[in-house]
Amino acid sequence: MRMHLRGVVLPDDEVRDLWVRDGVISYEPVLDAETLCDTGWIVPGLVDAHCHVGIRYGGGHEDREGAIAQAEVERDTGALLLRDAGSPIDTRFIDDHHELPKIIRAGRHIARPKRYIRELGIELDDERDLPDIVAEQARFGDGWVKIVGDWIDRSAGDLRPLWSDAILKEAIDAAHREGARVTAHVFGEDALPGLINAGIDCLEHGTGLTADTIEMMAEHGTALVPTLVNIDTFPDIADSATKFPVYAAHMRDLHRRVRHTVADAHAAGVPIYTGTDAGGSIRHGRIADEIDALAGAGLSRHEALAAASWRAREWLGRPGIEDGAPADFVVYRTDPRGSRAALDAPAFVVLRGRVYPRRDPVTGHR
Ligand SMILES: [Zn+2]
């Protein structure tokens, strides 16, 4: 379909005419293009940088149909690029579905026995295997590897790191030799110095960050994906951990201070990106909630949208709105930086030059 759009293009914040032909953006007029809008805001395709296509809501592995349904829900909210942060199933078949968002895979979670959600990850009996397994998952993924940095240790009754500092350094070096970046699930304080000093590229959740570890992240340029909509489940996790009162109190404290933690990290210059942690305990399609949550945690509404769009795309090596780039963008009727309500209702989404939701071929209605 050949299309023409006119609206305020972000992040430039200027009214511009765009054309789309063969799935690609053109700054030059395209003949016989249908005008889809002559007012509105046009935003580079949103990014959910922590999104598990393949983990069923409520737990377990999703089947192919279920994974497709999850990806469709993400697309319709405007999330057109997903970094999967670990999936138990091989979602590579989704690459053949041009109507579905692009997934940047991180292979499978790497953990230790009894130290993560059962049956999701690869569990290593001996931590010395970590560098080899990281290298293997680096070759399997799309430039990212996901390790579990800490989890409850039931014998200690609290969060504890899974790995020694020395093996983390070896493992992250191994991933970098494969050309992959590494990220880690981390809730508590203790695992952070070892991960950051080992040169990890990103931290997921990061609720245990303190002034010292925030400064270390800023020095190393480590990114943070706070997943605030997931952190809001911490009080429920604490309520169900009656056998582990120290852990429960710890989780409540991490939750209580998380918005200050994110604000402090942002103020220190740590790059922050949106991730919902959809799959398992969070439903898919929550990107607007996460943008809104970041806007309540020290980022302006403009910065929160940037963290979910052009800045995240740049971080993941994908173009924004430019001449010759794939036509992946979201159109809003009102400024998506203006209010929560504006974010909730994209007028329509364009993915690879096709419009969603699709219009009825008879009535022309969406
Ligand atoms: Zn996750």
Quote the pLDDT of residue 119: 78
Going from the Cα of 79 to the center of ligand 1, the distance in angstroms, rounded, reads 16
Going from the Cα of 52 to the center of ligand 1, the distance in angstroms, rounded, reads 7
Going from the Cα of 192 to the center of ligand 1, the distance in angstroms, rounded, reads 17
Quote the pLDDT of residue 120: 83
Quote the pLDDT of residue 59: 87
Going from the Cα of 24 to the center of ligand 1, the distance in angstroms, rounded, reads 32
Q: What is the pTM of this model?
A: 0.96
Going from the Cα of 55 to the center of ligand 1, the distance in angstroms, rounded, reads 10
Going from the Cα of 341 to the center of ligand 1, the distance in angstroms, rounded, reads 26
95 and 33 within one domain: no
The reply to whether 366 falls in a domain is no
Quote the pLDDT of residue 128: 98
- 150-153 and 158-161 beta bridge pairing: antiparallel
Token pair belonging to 56: 């069923």
Range of the domain at 22: 2-43+319-356
The reply to whether 363 falls in a domain is no
32 and 97 within one domain: no
Residue 81 · residue 45 · CB < 8 Å: yes
344 and 302 within one domain: no
Going from the Cα of 85 to the center of ligand 1, the distance in angstroms, rounded, reads 6
Quote the pLDDT of residue 359: 54
Nearest to 35 by CA among 69, 86, 1: 1
Going from the Cα of 362 to the center of ligand 1, the distance in angstroms, rounded, reads 42
36 and 53 within one domain: no
The reply to whether 131 falls in a domain is yes
178: CATH = 3.20.20.140
Q: Measure the CA–CA gap between 182 and 171, rounded to whole angstroms.
A: 9
Nearest to 11 by CA among 339, 312, 346: 312
Going from the Cα of 269 to the center of ligand 1, the distance in angstroms, rounded, reads 24
The reply to whether 181 falls in a domain is yes
The reply to whether 212 falls in a domain is yes
Going from the Cα of 53 to the center of ligand 1, the distance in angstroms, rounded, reads 10
Going from the Cα of 294 to the center of ligand 1, the distance in angstroms, rounded, reads 17
Going from the Cα of 50 to the center of ligand 1, the distance in angstroms, rounded, reads 6
> What residue type is assigned to position 349 of the chain?
V
94 and 208 within one domain: yes
106 and 234 within one domain: yes
Going from the Cα of 173 to the center of ligand 1, the distance in angstroms, rounded, reads 23
* Number of structural domains the chain divides into: 2
Residue 279 · residue 83 · CB < 8 Å: no
64 and 25 within one domain: no
The reply to whether 361 falls in a domain is no
Quote the pLDDT of residue 248: 98
Could you give phi then psi for residue 205, rounded to 5 degrees?
75, -75
Residue 151 · residue 190 · CB < 8 Å: no
The reply to whether 365 falls in a domain is no
Going from the Cα of 182 to the center of ligand 1, the distance in angstroms, rounded, reads 14
147 and 37 within one domain: no
Going from the Cα of 5 to the center of ligand 1, the distance in angstroms, rounded, reads 36
Output the tens digit of pLDDT for each of the chain's 366 residues: 899 999 999 999 999 999 999 999 999 999 999 999 999 999 999 999 999 999 999 888 999 999 999 999 999 999 999 999 888 889 999 999 999 999 999 988 999 999 998 878 899 999 999 999 999 999 989 999 999 999 999 999 999 999 999 999 999 999 999 999 999 999 999 999 999 999 999 999 999 999 999 999 999 999 999 999 999 999 999 999 999 999 999 999 999 999 999 999 999 999 999 999 999 899 999 999 999 999 999 999 999 999 999 999 999 999 999 999 999 999 999 999 999 999 998 999 999 999 998 655 555 555
Q: Given the structure tokens 């997921």, which residue do they identify? A: 204
Q: Which of 315, 330, 346 is the last residue of a domain?
A: 315
- 46-48 and 14-21 beta bridge pairing: unpaired
93 and 39 within one domain: no
The reply to whether 362 falls in a domain is no
Quote the pLDDT of residue 87: 84
228 and 146 within one domain: yes
Going from the Cα of 258 to the center of ligand 1, the distance in angstroms, rounded, reads 17
333: CATH = 2.30.40.10
328 and 234 within one domain: no
24 and 104 within one domain: no
